[in-house]
Amino acid sequence: MQIYLPIAELPVNMFMLFGMGGAVGFLSGLFGIGGGFLLTPLLIFSGIPPAVSVATVTTQVVASSASGVVAYWRRKMIDFKLAGMLLVGGVIGSAIGVWLFDLLRTLGQLDLVISLSYVTFLSAIGGLMLFESLRSMARRKSGARIAARQPGRHNWVHGLPFKMRFRQSRLYVSVIPIIVLGAVIGFLGSILGIGGGFMMVPALIYLLRVPTNIVIGTSLLQILFTMAAATFLHAMSTQSVDIVLALALMIGGVIGAQFGARMGQKLRGDQLRLLLALLVLSVGVRFAVNLVLQPDELFSVSAAVAEVRR
């Protein structure tokens, strides 16, 4: 069944959208991530203009994280104060991201920046995760004890000024790294159409030493607000949020996520992280190959955004 997308201005098969939303939703439920980094490239490869893909995926991420937030809120596993500070950074980062997005689109380098950022971030994070999960699997096999959280041990982050107490996370740290982290993720989110959960979760655990059970709910809440801001800013400045596309993706996504979450409970943590690492890496490699190999078509055309369109 074909449906005409009012903003992307082309018809697409609705079942294809449900399918893509569902598949990505499944993975997002399985790994506890937003899945934007998979959905955006999928949409671009299926012919939807990159600008519309990126902006619309931010809307879809709002829906998927809202569904997660509801669940964690009920279990009281969200540190609102920490999420609030992350959010301050997130809004700043999103605003810069949307501004740069608009600028790059007029310069014709948007596709390049999207590809380069995907290659860089996905390869780096995928690589780190792969390394970490393999090491923890090896350690489990050899029977060694996994080091528990050591509250007394501090890293460089704890030496920074402007300290603040986060009661729920049992933390007393500087707000600088928190705001910077929020800003970086908000920035990447609006440029790449990703929630950044796959970066936020490890950063909160390893850098700030937030207890793992608080991390996911807090990160989801932060992503919810950052992506809501990004959606709004995209709607204001680039007008490329396609509400029909977003809705089709959301419906597939939230249903897929439920099945993914059930499946995820049957797998061990390090297995999940290994699979996720391979997934992240392969998307990164896919973009890298595209950049390095000579494209079949060297030329591209893009119409200037008309000022008055009806």
Partner 1 sequence: MRRTTLRTLAACGLAALALTTAALAPARAENLISALSNDRVNIESNFTGTKIVVFGEIARDALTVARPDPYDLAVVVSGPEQVVTTRRKGRFLGIWVNRDAETFESVPSFLAIHTTRAPHEMASRTVLQRHRIGLRNLNLPIAIASDVPIGDRDNFRAAFLRLRVESGLYREETQSIEFLSNSLFRTSVTLPANVPVGDYTVSTYLLRGGVLLAQAEEQLTIAKSGFEQFTYRLAYEYSALYGLLAVGLAIFTGWLAGVIFRRD
Q: Which of 83, 234, 252, 280 binds partner 1 (CB under 8 A)?
A: 234
Tell the smallest beta-carbon distance from residue 209 to partner 1 (Å): 28
SS3 13: strand
Bridging pattern class, strands 163-166 and 171-174: antiparallel
What single string gives the DSSP state of each residue in 135-155? Answer: HHHHHHHHTPPPP---TT---
Q: C-alpha 69: how far from its chain's center?
A: 15
Q: Which is nearer to partner 1, 29 or 93 (CB)?
A: 29
Partners of 2 in beta bridges: 13
Instruction: Enumerate residues 63-122 that contact partner 1 by CB under 8 A.
Output: 63-71, 74-75, 108-109, 111-112, 116
Q: Is 295 in the site for partner 1 (CB under 8 A)?
A: yes
Tell the smallest beta-carbon distance from residue 148 to partner 1 (Å): 28
Tell the smallest beta-carbon distance from residue 100 to partner 1 (Å): 16
Q: Which is nearer to partner 1, 166 or 287 (CB)?
A: 287
Q: Which of 27, 178, 181, 257 binds partner 1 (CB under 8 A)?
A: 257
Rounded distance between C-alpha atoms, residue 190 and residue 58, angstroms: 7
Q: Which is nearer to partner 1, 130 or 288 (CB)?
A: 288
Contact 90, 256 (CB under 8 A): no
Q: Which stretch binds partner 1 (CB under 8 A): 3-11, 143-151, 173-181, 266-274?
A: 3-11
CB burial readout 275-310, b (16+ within 10 A) else e:
bbbebbbebbeebbeeeeeeeeeeeeeeeeeeeeee
Taking alpha carbons only, the member of 37, 38, 6, 40 closest to residue 23 is 38
Residues in the site for partner 1, rule: CB under 8 A? 2-4, 6-7, 9-11, 59-60, 62-71, 74-75, 108-109, 111-112, 116, 224, 228, 231-237, 239, 241, 243-244, 246-247, 250-251, 254-255, 257-258, 291-295, 297-304, 306, 309-310
